[in-house]
């Protein structure tokens, strides 16, 4: 960055820097790769829709092509490039929850695409209530989610579309009885249902840094911390304040966050975008006041 941009970055709030980073990156992927990605146009766009709802200024070109893409759920399986290696069921969940935010932000006025996306998710649900993924029971990451988080977000889409009540109830029943062993397990549960032991799990697993790792007593990671914050946002303010400070400390000067990878320490553009998107959502959710 040039000196003036460095000065502006220093003066901006953590949320403003995070949003500015995503405003640049979200439209960059389709422009450069001629396709839409789960990390940029799913996770990243979702954070920008939330920022728009909170009255952050989002330039229209940052979301125009993504909103158009999301409004056609019938096209989501047609991903060129290396998409043959992706989990299309997970991609559909990621795009569907981004579509949910687009609709709730007011940037998409027609509810029919959301209804269509919800119905497509119902067809992918397991009889037991969860949404199966290619990764099975593996620990989720910013771009692979894991079954509990994918189930929580699919449920959010179904509830927003106000359809498929039986599917929602089966998903919630599965989450109520989910065995808790990771931060993502407990957070996914609390994002969807009330369950005291999940709340206790998260509060006890918070580290001295203020953040959460994937397991209790493991080193904190931005992604796991962001998910825990979003799960606790209406429940425990002291824990949120400590976690918010952890996220602010670990934010990079350009507004992004170091990517959370499994195992940790690897480099991945996709994981960086998704990690930054989740961390941005966590900061937006814990803003003391809505900015003007």
Total length of the chain:
292
Structural domain boundaries in the chain: 13-285
pLDDT at 122: 97
pLDDT above 90: residue 31 = yes
pLDDT-derived band at 82, boundaries 50, 70, 90 = very low
**DSSP assignments along 194-228, one per residue:** --HHHHHHHHHH--TTS---SSTTSPP-HHHHHHH
Task: Out of 3-17, 68-82, 122-136, give the one with best mean pLDDT.
Answer: 122-136
CATH level 2 (architecture), domain 13-285: Alpha/alpha barrel (1.50)
Alpha carbon distances (Å) from 247 to 15, 186, 240, 252, 275 = 11, 20, 10, 10, 11
pTM of the predicted structure, to 2 decimals: 0.93
What would you report as the CA-atom Rg of the chain, rounded to the nearest whole angstrom? 18
Task: Categorize the per-residue pLDDT at 289 as very low, low, confident or very high, splitting at 50, 70 and 90.
Answer: low
DSSP 179: P
Residue 257 has pLDDT above 70, yes or no: yes
């Amino acid at each position: 960055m040039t000196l003036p941009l460095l000065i502006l970055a220093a003066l901006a709030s953590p949320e403003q820097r995070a949003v500015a980073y995503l405003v640049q990156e979200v439209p960059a992927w389709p422009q450069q790769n001629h396709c839409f990605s789960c990390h940029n146009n799913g996770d990243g766009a979702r954070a920008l829709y939330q920022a728009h709802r909170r009255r952050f200024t989002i330039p229209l070109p940052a979301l125009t092509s993504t909103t158009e893409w999301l409004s056609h759920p019938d096209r989501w399986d047609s991903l060129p490039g290396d998409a043959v290696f992706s989990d299309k069921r997970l991609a559909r969940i990621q795009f569907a929850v981004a579509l949910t935010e687009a609709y709730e932000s007011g940037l998409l006025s027609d509810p029919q695409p959301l209804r269509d996306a919800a119905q497509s998710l119902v067809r992918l649900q397991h009889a037991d209530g969860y949404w199966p993924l290619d990764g099975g029971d593996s620990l989720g990451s910013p771009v692979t989610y894991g079954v509990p988080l994918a189930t929580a977000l699919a449920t959010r889409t179904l509830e927003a579309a106000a359809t498929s009540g039986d599917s929602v109830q089966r998903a919630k029943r599965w989450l109520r009885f989910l065995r808790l062993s990771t931060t993502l397990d407990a957070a996914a549960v609390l994002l969807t249902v009330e369950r005291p032991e999940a709340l206790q799990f998260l509060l006890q697993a918070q580290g001295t840094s203020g953040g959460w790792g994937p397991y209790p007593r493991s080193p904190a990671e931005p992604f796991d911390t962001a998910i825990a914050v979003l799960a606790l946002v209406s429940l425990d303010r002291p824990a949120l304040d400590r976690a918010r400070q952890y996220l602010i400390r670990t934010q990079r000067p350009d507004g992004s966050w170091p990517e959370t990878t499994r195992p940790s320490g690897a480099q991945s553009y996709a994981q960086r975008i998704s990690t930054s998107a989740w961390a941005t959502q966590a900061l937006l959710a814990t803003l003391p006041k809505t900015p003007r």
